[in-house]
Amino acid sequence: MFISTYENKLDKKGRVSVPASFRSYLSSLGYNSVVCYPSFTNSSIEFCPQSRIEKLSDSIDSLSPFEENRDTFATSILADSFQLNFDSDGRVVLPKKLLDHSGIKETVFFVGQGKTFQMWEPQKFSKFREEARKKAKTLRSNLKWS
Amino acid sequence: MFISTYENKLDKKGRVSVPASFRSYLSSLGYNSVVCYPSFTNSSIEFCPQSRIEKLSDSIDSLSPFEENRDTFATSILADSFQLNFDSDGRVVLPKKLLDHSGIKETVFFVGQGKTFQMWEPQKFSKFREEARKKAKTLRSNLKWS
DNA sequence: TGGGTTATTATGGGATTACATGGTATATAA
DNA sequence: TTATATACCATGTAATCCCATAATAACCCA
Protein backbone atom coordinates (compact mmCIF):
# COMPACT_ATOMS: atom_id res chain seq x y z
CA MET A 1 0.00 0.00 0.00
CA PHE A 2 1.01 3.57 -0.65
CA ILE A 3 0.27 5.67 2.42
CA SER A 4 1.61 8.87 4.00
CA THR A 5 3.11 11.93 2.43
CA TYR A 6 6.77 12.66 1.88
CA GLU A 7 8.67 15.72 0.78
CA ASN A 8 11.76 15.21 -1.39
CA LYS A 9 13.91 17.41 -3.59
CA LEU A 10 14.51 17.56 -7.31
CA ASP A 11 18.21 17.90 -8.04
CA LYS A 12 19.51 19.90 -10.97
CA LYS A 13 19.50 16.83 -13.17
CA GLY A 14 15.80 16.41 -12.60
CA ARG A 15 16.09 13.37 -10.33
CA VAL A 16 13.95 12.65 -7.23
CA SER A 17 14.21 9.87 -4.72
CA VAL A 18 10.99 7.90 -4.56
CA PRO A 19 10.27 7.25 -0.86
CA ALA A 20 11.72 3.94 0.23
CA SER A 21 8.38 2.61 1.47
CA PHE A 22 6.79 3.24 -1.94
CA ARG A 23 9.67 1.50 -3.68
CA SER A 24 9.51 -1.49 -1.41
CA TYR A 25 5.79 -1.89 -2.08
CA LEU A 26 6.45 -1.78 -5.80
CA SER A 27 9.25 -4.29 -5.55
CA SER A 28 7.00 -6.56 -3.47
CA LEU A 29 4.75 -6.59 -6.55
CA GLY A 30 7.77 -7.49 -8.64
CA TYR A 31 8.45 -4.13 -10.25
CA ASN A 32 11.54 -2.02 -10.56
CA SER A 33 9.66 0.75 -12.29
CA VAL A 34 6.48 2.84 -12.14
CA VAL A 35 4.00 4.07 -14.68
CA CYS A 36 2.82 7.65 -14.50
CA TYR A 37 0.60 10.13 -16.30
CA PRO A 38 -0.82 13.59 -15.74
CA SER A 39 -3.97 13.65 -13.63
CA PHE A 40 -7.21 14.53 -15.44
CA THR A 41 -8.72 16.42 -12.60
CA ASN A 42 -5.84 18.32 -11.05
CA SER A 43 -2.22 19.29 -11.51
CA SER A 44 -0.69 16.23 -9.88
CA ILE A 45 1.19 13.39 -11.53
CA GLU A 46 -0.41 9.99 -10.93
CA PHE A 47 1.75 6.94 -10.32
CA CYS A 48 0.78 3.28 -10.29
CA PRO A 49 2.25 -0.18 -10.74
CA GLN A 50 2.40 -1.42 -14.29
CA SER A 51 -0.28 -4.02 -13.53
CA ARG A 52 -2.82 -1.31 -12.89
CA ILE A 53 -2.33 0.40 -16.21
CA GLU A 54 -2.63 -2.98 -17.89
CA LYS A 55 -5.95 -3.51 -16.19
CA LEU A 56 -7.08 -0.08 -17.30
CA SER A 57 -5.94 -0.82 -20.82
CA ASP A 58 -7.96 -4.03 -20.78
CA SER A 59 -11.10 -2.25 -19.72
CA ILE A 60 -10.63 0.32 -22.47
CA ASP A 61 -10.09 -2.49 -24.88
CA SER A 62 -13.38 -4.09 -23.91
CA LEU A 63 -15.31 -1.00 -24.96
CA SER A 64 -16.85 -1.21 -28.38
CA PRO A 65 -14.50 -0.03 -31.12
CA PHE A 66 -17.20 2.50 -31.98
CA GLU A 67 -17.68 3.74 -28.49
CA GLU A 68 -17.01 7.39 -28.47
CA ASN A 69 -15.18 7.37 -25.19
CA ARG A 70 -12.77 4.74 -26.30
CA ASP A 71 -10.35 7.00 -28.05
CA THR A 72 -10.77 9.62 -25.41
CA PHE A 73 -9.57 7.27 -22.70
CA ALA A 74 -6.92 5.65 -24.78
CA THR A 75 -5.51 8.96 -25.86
CA SER A 76 -5.66 10.74 -22.60
CA ILE A 77 -4.18 7.98 -20.47
CA LEU A 78 -2.17 5.51 -22.40
CA ALA A 79 -0.71 7.96 -24.86
CA ASP A 80 0.34 10.34 -22.12
CA SER A 81 1.84 7.68 -19.85
CA PHE A 82 5.49 7.10 -19.10
CA GLN A 83 7.33 4.20 -17.63
CA LEU A 84 10.04 5.42 -15.27
CA ASN A 85 12.85 3.14 -14.11
CA PHE A 86 14.59 3.52 -10.79
CA ASP A 87 18.29 4.17 -10.80
CA SER A 88 20.49 2.23 -8.41
CA ASP A 89 19.65 4.69 -5.62
CA GLY A 90 15.89 4.59 -6.08
CA ARG A 91 15.49 7.78 -8.07
CA VAL A 92 13.51 8.60 -11.20
CA VAL A 93 13.84 11.38 -13.74
CA LEU A 94 10.62 13.27 -14.43
CA PRO A 95 9.80 14.01 -18.08
CA LYS A 96 9.52 17.71 -18.85
CA LYS A 97 5.91 17.29 -19.96
CA LEU A 98 5.01 16.19 -16.48
CA LEU A 99 7.05 18.89 -14.83
CA ASP A 100 5.09 21.41 -16.85
CA HIS A 101 1.76 19.82 -16.04
CA SER A 102 2.47 19.68 -12.33
CA GLY A 103 4.34 22.93 -11.87
CA ILE A 104 7.01 21.07 -9.89
CA LYS A 105 10.25 23.05 -9.54
CA GLU A 106 12.44 22.15 -6.59
CA THR A 107 10.36 20.30 -4.09
CA VAL A 108 8.13 17.31 -4.66
CA PHE A 109 5.30 16.17 -2.44
CA PHE A 110 4.60 12.44 -2.56
CA VAL A 111 1.04 11.60 -1.60
CA GLY A 112 0.00 8.02 -0.90
CA GLN A 113 -3.43 7.04 -2.24
CA GLY A 114 -3.55 3.34 -1.42
CA LYS A 115 -3.18 1.57 -4.74
CA THR A 116 -1.58 4.60 -6.34
CA PHE A 117 0.36 7.67 -5.36
CA GLN A 118 0.78 11.19 -6.64
CA MET A 119 3.46 13.83 -6.97
CA TRP A 120 2.52 17.42 -6.28
CA GLU A 121 4.03 20.85 -6.27
CA PRO A 122 3.86 21.67 -2.53
CA GLN A 123 1.73 24.81 -2.64
CA LYS A 124 -0.76 23.30 -5.04
CA PHE A 125 -1.07 20.31 -2.82
CA SER A 126 -1.75 22.25 0.34
CA LYS A 127 -4.60 24.03 -1.42
CA PHE A 128 -5.97 20.74 -2.65
CA ARG A 129 -5.64 19.18 0.76
CA GLU A 130 -7.67 21.93 2.34
CA GLU A 131 -10.49 21.38 -0.13
CA ALA A 132 -10.29 17.64 0.40
CA ARG A 133 -10.66 18.07 4.14
CA LYS A 134 -13.76 20.15 3.81
CA LYS A 135 -15.39 17.80 1.35
CA ALA A 136 -14.43 14.71 3.28
CA LYS A 137 -16.13 15.97 6.38
CA THR A 138 -19.49 15.90 4.67
CA LEU A 139 -18.83 12.90 2.44
CA ARG A 140 -17.11 10.55 4.80
CA SER A 141 -20.29 8.89 5.93
CA ASN A 142 -20.96 7.80 2.35
CA LEU A 143 -17.90 5.62 2.21
CA LYS A 144 -18.44 2.13 3.51
CA TRP A 145 -15.92 0.89 6.00
CA SER A 146 -16.48 -1.70 8.62
CA MET B 1 -8.44 -7.15 21.13
CA PHE B 2 -7.08 -3.88 22.38
CA ILE B 3 -8.37 -3.33 25.90
CA SER B 4 -7.29 -1.43 29.00
CA THR B 5 -5.17 1.71 29.32
CA TYR B 6 -1.43 2.10 29.76
CA GLU B 7 0.93 4.96 30.41
CA ASN B 8 4.41 4.90 28.84
CA LYS B 9 7.17 7.41 28.24
CA LEU B 10 8.60 9.05 25.14
CA ASP B 11 12.40 8.96 25.21
CA LYS B 12 14.55 11.69 23.71
CA LYS B 13 14.75 9.87 20.42
CA GLY B 14 10.98 10.04 20.15
CA ARG B 15 10.36 6.36 20.83
CA VAL B 16 7.57 4.77 22.91
CA SER B 17 7.04 1.19 23.88
CA VAL B 18 3.71 -0.07 22.63
CA PRO B 19 2.09 -2.11 25.43
CA ALA B 20 2.98 -5.78 25.12
CA SER B 21 -0.63 -6.90 25.03
CA PHE B 22 -1.35 -4.59 22.07
CA ARG B 23 1.70 -5.88 20.25
CA SER B 24 0.82 -9.49 20.82
CA TYR B 25 -2.65 -8.91 19.41
CA LEU B 26 -1.13 -7.30 16.33
CA SER B 27 1.34 -10.11 15.86
CA SER B 28 -1.48 -12.65 16.23
CA LEU B 29 -2.93 -10.96 13.14
CA GLY B 30 0.41 -11.35 11.44
CA TYR B 31 1.68 -7.78 11.70
CA ASN B 32 4.89 -6.29 12.93
CA SER B 33 3.62 -2.77 12.41
CA VAL B 34 0.64 -0.49 12.99
CA VAL B 35 -1.08 2.12 10.92
CA CYS B 36 -2.04 5.41 12.53
CA TYR B 37 -3.57 8.77 11.70
CA PRO B 38 -4.74 11.89 13.49
CA SER B 39 -8.28 11.57 14.82
CA PHE B 40 -10.89 13.57 12.91
CA THR B 41 -12.82 14.51 16.00
CA ASN B 42 -10.30 14.99 18.81
CA SER B 43 -6.59 15.37 19.53
CA SER B 44 -5.80 11.68 19.85
CA ILE B 45 -3.83 9.51 17.45
CA GLU B 46 -5.81 6.52 16.17
CA PHE B 47 -4.12 3.17 15.65
CA CYS B 48 -5.35 0.14 13.77
CA PRO B 49 -4.03 -3.01 12.11
CA GLN B 50 -2.95 -2.61 8.51
CA SER B 51 -5.86 -4.78 7.37
CA ARG B 52 -8.33 -2.16 8.48
CA ILE B 53 -6.78 0.55 6.38
CA GLU B 54 -6.46 -1.85 3.47
CA LYS B 55 -10.19 -2.37 3.58
CA LEU B 56 -10.61 1.34 3.39
CA SER B 57 -8.20 1.52 0.50
CA ASP B 58 -10.19 -1.19 -1.28
CA SER B 59 -13.46 0.64 -0.87
CA ILE B 60 -11.86 3.78 -2.23
CA ASP B 61 -10.50 1.74 -5.08
CA SER B 62 -13.93 0.38 -5.92
CA LEU B 63 -14.96 3.89 -6.88
CA SER B 64 -14.46 4.65 -10.54
CA PRO B 65 -10.93 5.80 -11.32
CA PHE B 66 -12.50 9.00 -12.59
CA GLU B 67 -14.84 9.52 -9.67
CA GLU B 68 -14.23 12.95 -8.35
CA ASN B 69 -14.51 12.03 -4.69
CA ARG B 70 -11.94 9.36 -5.02
CA ASP B 71 -8.98 11.64 -4.52
CA THR B 72 -10.82 13.49 -1.81
CA PHE B 73 -11.18 10.41 0.35
CA ALA B 74 -7.76 9.06 -0.36
CA THR B 75 -6.09 12.36 0.35
CA SER B 76 -7.96 13.11 3.53
CA ILE B 77 -7.31 9.68 5.04
CA LEU B 78 -4.53 7.69 3.44
CA ALA B 79 -2.28 10.67 2.84
CA ASP B 80 -2.38 11.57 6.53
CA SER B 81 -1.69 8.03 7.71
CA PHE B 82 1.60 6.48 8.74
CA GLN B 83 2.82 2.95 8.94
CA LEU B 84 4.96 2.55 12.04
CA ASN B 85 7.23 -0.46 12.39
CA PHE B 86 8.19 -1.90 15.75
CA ASP B 87 11.85 -1.96 16.58
CA SER B 88 13.33 -5.10 18.08
CA ASP B 89 12.09 -4.02 21.51
CA GLY B 90 8.52 -3.23 20.52
CA ARG B 91 8.84 0.51 20.20
CA VAL B 92 7.68 2.94 17.52
CA VAL B 93 8.85 6.43 16.61
CA LEU B 94 6.04 8.98 16.45
CA PRO B 95 6.18 11.38 13.49
CA LYS B 96 6.39 15.05 14.45
CA LYS B 97 3.11 15.79 12.72
CA LEU B 98 1.32 13.46 15.10
CA LEU B 99 3.15 14.80 18.12
CA ASP B 100 1.89 18.24 17.14
CA HIS B 101 -1.65 17.08 16.56
CA SER B 102 -1.84 15.23 19.85
CA GLY B 103 0.17 17.56 22.05
CA ILE B 104 2.16 14.59 23.35
CA LYS B 105 5.42 15.61 25.05
CA GLU B 106 6.78 13.14 27.58
CA THR B 107 4.04 10.80 28.56
CA VAL B 108 1.74 8.78 26.34
CA PHE B 109 -1.63 7.39 27.34
CA PHE B 110 -2.68 4.24 25.49
CA VAL B 111 -6.42 3.66 25.33
CA GLY B 112 -7.76 0.33 24.07
CA GLN B 113 -10.86 0.54 21.88
CA GLY B 114 -11.38 -3.05 20.83
CA LYS B 115 -10.44 -3.16 17.16
CA THR B 116 -8.37 -0.02 17.47
CA PHE B 117 -6.52 1.93 20.11
CA GLN B 118 -5.52 5.53 20.69
CA MET B 119 -2.63 7.53 22.03
CA TRP B 120 -3.38 10.60 24.11
CA GLU B 121 -1.58 13.36 25.90
CA PRO B 122 -2.58 12.49 29.50
CA GLN B 123 -4.26 15.77 30.47
CA LYS B 124 -6.21 15.99 27.27
CA PHE B 125 -7.42 12.49 27.80
CA SER B 126 -8.69 13.09 31.32
CA LYS B 127 -10.63 16.12 30.10
CA PHE B 128 -12.05 14.06 27.29
CA ARG B 129 -12.98 11.31 29.70
CA GLU B 130 -14.87 13.76 31.89
CA GLU B 131 -16.88 15.03 28.94
CA ALA B 132 -17.59 11.48 27.88
CA ARG B 133 -18.92 10.60 31.32
CA LYS B 134 -21.32 13.51 31.31
CA LYS B 135 -22.61 12.64 27.89
CA ALA B 136 -22.94 9.00 28.78
CA LYS B 137 -25.08 9.87 31.75
CA THR B 138 -27.67 11.53 29.60
CA LEU B 139 -27.41 8.99 26.81
CA ARG B 140 -27.44 5.86 28.88
CA SER B 141 -31.15 5.39 28.67
CA ASN B 142 -30.94 5.35 24.87
CA LEU B 143 -28.82 2.24 24.74
CA LYS B 144 -30.86 -0.89 24.25
CA TRP B 145 -29.69 -3.95 26.09
CA SER B 146 -31.76 -7.07 25.69
C1' DT C 1 1.07 -16.51 53.22
C1' DG C 2 5.35 -14.88 52.53
C1' DG C 3 9.91 -14.86 50.35
C1' DG C 4 12.65 -15.49 46.94
C1' DT C 5 13.36 -16.56 42.04
C1' DT C 6 12.49 -16.15 37.29
C1' DA C 7 10.20 -13.95 33.16
C1' DT C 8 8.57 -10.29 30.99
C1' DT C 9 8.39 -5.64 29.97
C1' DA C 10 9.86 -0.79 29.76
C1' DT C 11 13.62 2.35 28.98
C1' DG C 12 18.23 4.17 28.09
C1' DG C 13 22.44 4.50 25.16
C1' DG C 14 26.08 3.25 21.73
C1' DA C 15 26.88 1.19 17.33
C1' DT C 16 25.28 0.24 12.83
C1' DT C 17 22.58 0.70 8.79
C1' DA C 18 19.43 2.84 5.53
C1' DC C 19 18.07 6.75 3.11
C1' DA C 20 18.02 11.13 0.66
C1' DT C 21 20.92 13.89 -1.85
C1' DG C 22 24.91 15.65 -3.97
C1' DG C 23 28.61 14.76 -7.11
C1' DT C 24 31.73 12.46 -10.82
C1' DA C 25 32.41 9.57 -14.65
C1' DT C 26 30.85 7.05 -18.67
C1' DA C 27 27.71 6.04 -22.24
C1' DT C 28 23.74 7.41 -25.95
C1' DA C 29 21.38 10.13 -28.99
C1' DA C 30 20.26 14.27 -31.57
C1' DT D 1 29.26 19.49 -29.49
C1' DT D 2 25.04 19.70 -26.43
C1' DA D 3 21.89 17.50 -24.09
C1' DT D 4 20.09 13.21 -21.91
C1' DA D 5 20.50 8.97 -19.57
C1' DT D 6 22.90 5.48 -16.59
C1' DA D 7 26.17 3.71 -13.34
C1' DC D 8 28.96 4.47 -9.44
C1' DC D 9 30.72 6.82 -5.27
C1' DA D 10 30.56 10.14 -1.05
C1' DT D 11 28.31 12.14 2.94
C1' DG D 12 25.22 13.83 6.75
C1' DT D 13 21.17 12.71 8.97
C1' DA D 14 17.81 9.93 10.75
C1' DA D 15 16.02 5.51 11.63
C1' DT D 16 17.00 0.89 13.43
C1' DC D 17 19.54 -2.78 15.78
C1' DC D 18 21.59 -4.60 19.73
C1' DC D 19 22.79 -4.79 24.37
C1' DA D 20 22.49 -3.22 29.38
C1' DT D 21 19.77 -2.04 33.12
C1' DA D 22 15.54 -0.99 35.74
C1' DA D 23 10.95 -1.88 36.86
C1' DT D 24 7.12 -4.87 37.04
C1' DA D 25 4.58 -8.90 37.08
C1' DA D 26 4.25 -14.03 37.44
C1' DC D 27 5.75 -18.11 39.55
C1' DC D 28 7.19 -21.63 42.69
C1' DC D 29 8.10 -23.65 46.91
C1' DA D 30 8.67 -23.83 51.76
Here the CATH number for the domain that contains residue A54 is 3.40.1550.20
Once rounded to an integer, what is the mean pLDDT over residues B128-137? 86
**Measuring CA to CA, how many Å separate A135 from each of A36, B70, B74?**
26, 11, 12
- Answer yes or no: is pLDDT of A68 > 90: no
Q: What is the pLDDT of residue B43?
A: 95
Q: Closest CB to A4: pick one of B56, B57, B81.
A: B81
Q: CB of B5 under 7 A from strand C?
A: no
CA atoms within 13 A on the CB side of A64: 3
Once rounded to an integer, what is the mean pLDDT over residues B14-37? 94
Q: What is the pLDDT of residue A136?
A: 81
Domains in chain A: how many in total? 1
Does residue A146 lie in a domain region?
no
- Answer yes or no: is pLDDT of B146 > 80: no
Distant-in-sequence, close-in-space partners of A73: CB < 8 Å, separation ≥ 6: A60, A63
Does residue A98 lie in a domain region?
yes
Does residue A82 lie in a domain region?
yes
Q: CB of B91 under 7 A from strand C?
A: yes
Q: What is the pLDDT of residue A133?
A: 86
Does residue B144 lie in a domain region?
no
Once rounded to an integer, what is the mean pLDDT over residues B13-30? 94
- Round the average pLDDT of chain B to a whole number and report it: 90
Distance CA B80, CA B95 (A): 11
Cβ within 8 Å, pair B76-A4? no
Q: Tens digit of pLDDT for each residue in B68-100?
A: 788 888 888 899 999 999 999 999 999 999 999
- Answer yes or no: is pLDDT of A145 > 60: no
Q: What is the pLDDT of residue A137?
A: 78
- Answer yes or no: is pLDDT of A74 > 90: no
Q: Give the pLDDT band of residue A65 (cuts 50, 70, 90).
A: low
- Answer yes or no: is pLDDT of A58 > 90: no
Q: Closest CB to A115: pick one of B35, B61, B75.
A: B61
- Answer yes or no: is pLDDT of A88 > 90: no
**Measuring CA to CA, how many Å separate A144 from each of A141, B46, B64, B117?**
7, 18, 15, 20
Does residue A125 lie in a domain region?
yes
Does residue A97 lie in a domain region?
yes
- Answer yes or no: is pLDDT of B59 > 70: yes
The residue segments making up the domain with residue A11 are 5-140
Distance CA B84, CA B96 (A): 13
Does residue B145 lie in a domain region?
no
Q: Give the pLDDT band of residue B137 (cuts 50, 70, 90).
A: confident
- In a mutational test of the A interface, the residue from B31, B41, B68, B71 whose CB has the highest number of chain A CBs within 10 Å is B71
- Round the average pLDDT of chain A to a whole number and report it: 87
Does residue B75 lie in a domain region?
yes
The alpha carbon torsion through B131, B137, B139, B144 (nearest 10 deg) reads 130
Range name among A5-19, A45-59, A111-125, B41-55 with the lowest pLDDT average: A45-59
